[in-house]
Structure 1
Amino acid sequence: MPAEDAMIDLDTPGHGPVGAPISRHMPRPRVALGLAFAFAAGLGLGGWGVHRSEQARADRQRDATVVLVALPAGVGGGGVNSGGRARVEGSLAVVNAGPSPVTVRSVRADSPTVLVRDLGQTRLIRPGGTGWIGVVVLFPCGGTLGTEPLTVRFSVQTADGQVREAAYPVAVVGSVWADTLSRMCGPG
């Protein structure tokens, strides 16, 4: 064997000890494809998680929203007590203008002349639906109903299980309640 063959030149590629593999640090196609797939799957799951989180927050906000509209709807019995105060049992039509069902737990209104209280019954009202709430209206004969709407306050339980307060101005002047009260308090 000549001396030139036994010498290994380290500066030239491809010359090394016999049987030694050439090592190059190149990723294999399967590993690169697996990493790309894992990255894409992570992005997809992360996006889905963010979407679900935003949807849950929107659902909680929607369930907490209370929008009620109310107006005097009817009159039942009533009379005038010995103190000169007219008492009318009537109903209040309550429309749920919000996006979720609510349960009306109580109704009350106080002004210098008119007092309104519910009869102690709860009422579930679906979105877009109307519930009739039984109420008692007290009014001192000889007084005036006033010209401003009466602020009626509602205690409601929302779809998320929380109890919230809502208010709505109800016009008593010109309503069926006002007509009945004036007849009861009029000369008789």
Structure 2
Amino acid sequence: MEHAVIDLDERDHQPAESSATAQDHAVTRQKVVLGFAAVFVVGALIGGFAVQRRASHEQRERNSIVALVAFPQSASLGSPTFQTATLEGGRGAPQVKMTGHLVVINAGPAPITVRQVAAERPGMALASAGQPRLSPLGGTGELVVELLFECSAAFFQEPLPMAFEVETEDKHVREVSYPVTLAGSDWQRVAPANCGSA
């Protein structure tokens, strides 16, 4: 019985790859891996930029929204005056000056600064007299206003549209109108005392 002999020195007679070809394959694989990594990084950067741009746009839109609520709080007596040039269309009737406090609530989504407020209708004019007031989100501020009115004008009966000049967080200035109800307020209670002394 013959025993099979294995020659351990026998080599595979397959033609071996040249070292240059093997090196080319390694470089090609490395380039493919680097290409995939570059595509992934570029995609992540573009996606991140798009998300950041959308968030920035939404922030700008939110900052541009102004919503406020205002109502009269207190008033103090002023001195009767007989100036007629201050009020447009003044008829020579006694004009009374009164200082009032106006509460302003920021109902918008971002902080605002109320720079000034003004209102005018026949027989009455109103303008802010104090410094601008910063109002944080949901914050309440108080503005000092001066009213000049004719005692014969019944301007307390209807809401008074007031024009608010507001600076938003993005430093843009906007004008917002809000109808303020004066009927039943301290302003209406104090006014007759002013007129009675006129």
TM-score band w.r.t. shorter chain: 0.7 to 0.9
Query: Within 2, Cα distance between the matches of 1:77 and 1:187?
Result: 10
Question: Which stretch has the larger CA shift, 168-177 or 75-84?
Answer: 75-84
* Alignment correspondent of 2:100: 90
**Percent of aligned positions with the same letter in both sequences?**
33
Equivalent position amino acid for 2:41 in 1:
A
Find out whether 1:123 has 2:133 as its counterpart. Answer: yes
TM-score if structure 2 supplies the norm length? 0.76
Structure 2: where are the runs of 5+ without partners? Answer: 1-17, 83-92
Number of matched residues?
Answer: 170
* Alignment correspondent of 1:137: 147
1:106 alignment partner, one of 116, 123, 130:
116
* Alignment correspondent of 1:74: 74
SS in 2 for 1:103: strand
Question: Which stretch has the larger CA shift, 128-137 or 77-86?
Answer: 77-86
Runs of 4+ in 1 over 6 A off after TM superposition: none
**Cα RMSD over matched residues?**
2.6
Cα pair 1:115 1:139 within 8 Å, conserved: yes
* Alignment correspondent of 1:56: 56
Equivalent position amino acid for 1:184 in 2:
N
Query: Within 2, Cα distance between the matches of 1:76 and 1:182?
Result: 12
* Alignment correspondent of 1:39: 39
Structure 1: where are the runs of 5+ without partners? Answer: 1-18
Cα pair 1:78 1:88 within 8 Å, conserved: yes
